[in-house]
Each structure stands twice: as C-alpha cells, then as structure tokens.
Amino acid sequence: MKIFLDTANLDSIRKYNDLGLVDGITTNPSLLAKEGGDVEDIMVEIVRTVKGPISLEVISTDFQGMIREGRTLSKYGKNVVVKVPMTPDGLKAVRALRSEQIRTNVTLIFSANQALLAAKAGSSYVSPFIGRLDDIGDIGMDVVKDIKTIFSNYDFECEILVASVRHPLHVIEAAKIGADIVTLPPDVLGKMMAHPLTDIGLARFLEDWKKTKSSTPKITVER
Ligand code: E4P
C-alpha cells in the first residue's frame, strides 16, 4: 500500500520525505490556504520536493475552467495529478484531460457509484472521504470495500486513494481491504510509528548497556 501525505506544509513534507516514507502528496484548497504565503510557490516547491504523484486541485467548477486550470497545473511537473471534484463537469474534464495524457484524481467521493463513474470516465485515482462519512454516522470504510469489489470485478486501472483519514485505525482498515493508497495528515503518520512499549523497551536496553561499561560496539573480531 502506498502512503501519501495529505498536506501542503513543506516542513512536514520534507521531514517525512527524508525518512523515505512518502510515495506522493495530496493537497486541497483548504490545506493550501492554511499555509499562507504564495500558493503557487508552495505547489511548485511540493512538486519539486517529492518524486511521486502530487494532486493539485482545480478551483473552477465549469468544464472549460477545469480544463484550463488542469493544463496549467500539469505544467508544474510531470508528477502532477489534477484533482477535480465529483461533478458532471468534473467527469467530463477527466475524460478530456485524459485524452491529453493528463492524469486526474476525482475528489469528494462519498459513494461507490460516484467512484464507479469516475473510473469509467478514465480517472487515475478516486478519493473516497472516509472521515467525513464517519462524521455523519455512516461507515466510511464500507464505501472503500464496495469500491474495491467493483474495481476488481471490472479490472479498472483506477487506484483507490483513501482520503479524509483521521487516525491510524483507518490505515489498518484500508490496508486490510487492499486499498491502493492512503493519504495521511502528517500527525497520523507520526502516530503510526509510535508505540509506548517501543520507547520503554529502548530506554531499558540503553540502561542495561550502560552496565556493560562499554561505549558503542567496536569491530574487534575478524569475520
Ligand atoms: C484528500 O485528498 C483531501 O485533501 C483530504 O483527505 C480531506 O480530508 P479532511 O476531511 O480531513 O478535510
């Protein structure tokens, strides 16, 4: 399963990218607005920093506007994926951009039917928003399960990008279903790495090592 970061924060992106944990990035207008500064500069810098797919979202809601923006965004780098909303014009834009070899990610997906239509339109990715479904009392992960079954039945090439992830349990559930990608807020990725028993165990090992009165291990034995 690939791990994307769901952020426009360059410090977080650099931090986790340096650890080799980032397969791609998703952004949206809210995430970019949160960063302040020149939005275009931030997008260009993200595209330069991470090699994998970078989803950059259009703001237009009409077909022509989406195409125009999609073409512009795609010029930022070969790894750009144009994010379009799940609307009739959005689906039309997916098909048109695909004919120009521009990859798309259909966002704001809340049902398996929407994902089916996005895949049929030729999108490279669908983004079901799990946390927002959970928020209204639905089971977001059930939508991911249905999408997985449908895409397998028809061999769609479209990848399932699980979005609106709120906690590490969402990641485990998505992985068990076999979703292709999860996109994570940086704090969720941090939480995935941590376990109190790891910290306790490491502290104990280091304490015990001190009792040996050695410094760090040296190579004294011929191999
Ligand atoms: C996905 O691409 C979106 O940016 C994101 O996951 C939305 O998540 P939210 O519900 O936390 O805003």
- In this predicted model, what pLDDT tens digit does every residue of 134-176 receive, in sequence order? 999 999 999 999 999 999 999 999 999 999 999 999 999 999 9
CATH number of the domain where residue 171 is located: 3.20.20.70
Which of 4, 129, 170, 184 to mutate for ligand 1's pocket (most ligand atoms within 8 Å of CB)? 129
What residue's CA is closest to ligand 1, atom 1?
A: 163
* Ligand 1 pocket member 145 (CB < 6 A): no
Evaluate if residue 214 carries a pLDDT over 90: no
**Domain-located, residue 196:** no
Q: For the range 137-146, what are the long-range contacts, defined as Cβ-Cβ under 8 Å and sequence gap of 24 or more?
A: 140/164, 140/170, 141/170, 141/173, 141/174, 141/177, 143/109, 143/110, 143/111, 143/112, 143/115, 144/173, 144/174, 144/177, 144/179, 145/177, 146/112
Average pLDDT on 28-49 reads 96
pLDDT in tens, 185-198: 999 999 999 999 99
CA distance 141 to 133: 9
- The pLDDT assigned to 221 comes to 64
**Domain-located, residue 191:** no
Average pLDDT on 24-51 reads 96
pLDDT in tens, 78-127: 999 999 999 999 999 999 999 999 999 999 999 999 999 999 999 999 99
Contacts of 143 (CB under 8 A, 6+ apart): 109, 110, 111, 112, 115, 128, 130, 133
Q: How far is the CA of 163 from the centre of ligand 1 (A)?
A: 5
**Domain-located, residue 214:** no
Q: For residue 52, give its domain range.
A: 2-186
* Ligand 1 pocket member 32 (CB < 6 A): no
**Domain-located, residue 98:** yes
CA distance 171 to 44: 28
User: Which atom of ligand 1 is the closest one to the Cα of 83?
Assistant: 2
Q: How far is the CA of 78 from the centre of ligand 1 (A)?
A: 23
> Does the annotation mark 83 as catalytic?
yes
Catalytic pick from 2, 51, 83, 213? 83
**Domain-located, residue 201:** no
Q: How far is the CA of 155 from the centre of ligand 1 (A)?
A: 26
Evaluate if residue 8 carries a pLDDT over 90: yes
CA distance 11 to 1: 24
**Burial per residue of 175-200, b for 16 or more beta-carbon CB atoms within 10 angstroms, e otherwise:** eebebbbbbbbbebbeebeeeeeeee
**What percentage of the chain carries pLDDT values higher than 90?**
95
**Domain-located, residue 6:** yes
- Please give the tally of structural domains in the chain: 1
User: Which atom of ligand 1 is the closest one to the Cα of 166?
Assistant: 11
pTM of the model: 0.94
Which of 12, 23, 28, 109 to mutate for ligand 1's pocket (most ligand atoms within 8 Å of CB)? 28
- Both structure tokens of 219: 């190579």
How sure is the predictor about 218, in pLDDT bands with cuts at 50, 70 and 90?
A: low
Evaluate if residue 223 carries a pLDDT over 60: no
Q: How far is the CA of 185 from the centre of ligand 1 (A)?
A: 8
- Both structure tokens of 199: 């910290």
- In whole angstroms, what separates CA 154 from the centre of its chain? 24
Q: Give Cα separations from 7 to 2, 81, 119, 162, 190 (angstroms).
A: 16, 15, 25, 14, 14
* Ligand 1 pocket member 23 (CB < 6 A): no
DSSP state for residue 155 in the 8-state scheme: T
**Domain-located, residue 61:** yes
**Domain-located, residue 219:** no
